[in-house]
Structure 1
Amino acid sequence: MRKTLPVIAALGVAALAFTGCTDSAADPDSNGSGDGDSGDLRTVRVAALPIAETGAIWAAETEGIFADHGLELEIIPSQGGAQAIPALQNGDIDIAIAQPFGAFRANLADLPIRIIGNYANSNAEGEDVNSVVAGADSGITDLADLSGKRVSVNSLGAAGDVTIMKAVDDAGGDSSTIEFVEVAFPEVPAQLDAGNIDAAWAPDPFRNQVVDAGGADLVYPYQATIPGLTVLTNVTSTEVLDRDPELIEDWSAALDEALQFAAENEDAVREAIASNLEIPAEVVDGIVLPEFTTELDTDDLQSLIDLGIDYSVLDGEPSLDELVTE
Structure 2
Amino acid sequence: MRRWWGVPLIVVALTGAGCSSTGPAQVSTTSDGLVHIKVGVSPSTASIAVYLGREKYFADQGVAVDLSVIQSGADAVPRLLNGSLDIALGDAVGTLQSAANNVPLRVVGTVTVSPDDPAKDYSGIVTADASIKDVAGLSGRTVAVNQLNGGAQLTAKSAIDARGGDSSKVKFVELPFPQMAAAVEAKRVDAAMVVEPFLSAGTKEGLTTVIAPQAYSVAGFPSTIFISAAKYADANGDAIGKFMTAVSAAGKAANADPAKSRTVAATFTDLPAATLQGIKLPIYAENAADTAGMTKMLALANKYGVLTKQPDMNALLGGTK
TM-score, normalised relative to structure 2:
0.75
Q: Does 1:301 align with 2:294?
A: yes
Aligned match of 2:64: 71
Alpha carbons of structure 1 residues 143 and 131: separation in structure 2 relative to 1, 3 Å: farther
Compute the displacement of 1:269 (Å).
Answer: 0.6
Aligned match of 1:258: 250
Compute the displacement of 1:109 (Å).
Answer: 2.4
Aligned match of 1:219: 211
Equivalent in 188, 195, 200 of residue 208 of structure 1: 200
Q: Sequence identity of aligned pairs in percent?
A: 24
Equivalent-residue separation in structure 1 for 2:167 and 2:34 (angstroms): 57
Compute the displacement of 1:313 (Å).
Answer: 0.6
The DSSP-based 3-state class of the residue aligned with 1:111 is coil
| 1:82–1:102 CA contact under 8 A, matched in 2 | no
Cα displacement string for residues 195-226 of structure 1 (whole angstroms, at most 9, x for unaligned residues):
66543323322211111110111212222223
Aligned match of 2:92: 100
Q: Residue 127 of structure 1 aligns to which amino acid in structure 2?
A: A
Q: Residue 203 of structure 2 aligns to which amino acid in structure 1?
A: V
Q: Does 1:125 align with 2:121?
A: no
Equivalent in 108, 119, 143 of residue 116 of structure 1: 108
Compute the displacement of 1:282 (Å).
Answer: 4.5
Equivalent-residue separation in structure 2 for 1:197 and 1:53 (angstroms): 28
Aligned match of 2:156: 164
Aligned match of 1:277: 269
Shifted more, 239-248 versus 304-313: the winner is 239-248
Q: Residue 45 of structure 2 aligns to which amino acid in structure 1?
A: A
Q: Residue 193 of structure 2 aligns to which amino acid in structure 1?
A: W
The DSSP-based 3-state class of the residue aligned with 1:127 is helix
Q: Does 1:179 align with 2:176?
A: no
Compute the displacement of 1:82 (Å).
Answer: 8.2
Alpha carbons of structure 1 residues 174 and 292: separation in structure 2 relative to 1, 3 Å: closer
Gaps of 5+ in 2: 4-9, 16-22
Equivalent positions of 1:2-151 (< 5 A) are: 42=36, 44-48=38-42, 50-61=43-54, 63-66=55-58, 69-78=62-71, 84-91=76-83, 93-136=85-128, 140-151=132-143
The DSSP-based 3-state class of the residue aligned with 2:308 is coil
Cα displacement string for residues 272-319 of structure 1 (whole angstroms, at most 9, x for unaligned residues):
223433434444333333143215362x43332222112211124434
Equivalent-residue separation in structure 1 for 2:220 and 2:45 (angstroms): 17
Aligned match of 1:313: 306
| 2:251–2:284 CA contact under 8 A, matched in 1 | no
Equivalent-residue separation in structure 1 for 2:151 and 2:310 (angstroms): 15
Q: Residue 315 of structure 1 aligns to which amino acid in structure 2?
A: T
Cα displacement string for residues 241-270 of structure 1 (whole angstroms, at most 9, x for unaligned residues):
246556534433332332233233332111
Q: Structure 1: which 4+ aligned runs deviate by more than 6 Å?
A: 13-16, 29-32, 38-41
The DSSP-based 3-state class of the residue aligned with 1:306 is helix
Equivalent-residue separation in structure 2 for 1:156 and 1:82 (angstroms): 18
Q: Residue 121 of structure 1 aligns to which amino acid in structure 2?
A: V
Equivalent-residue separation in structure 1 for 2:78 and 2:186 (angstroms): 32
Alpha carbons of structure 1 residues 65 and 14: separation in structure 2 relative to 1, 3 Å: same
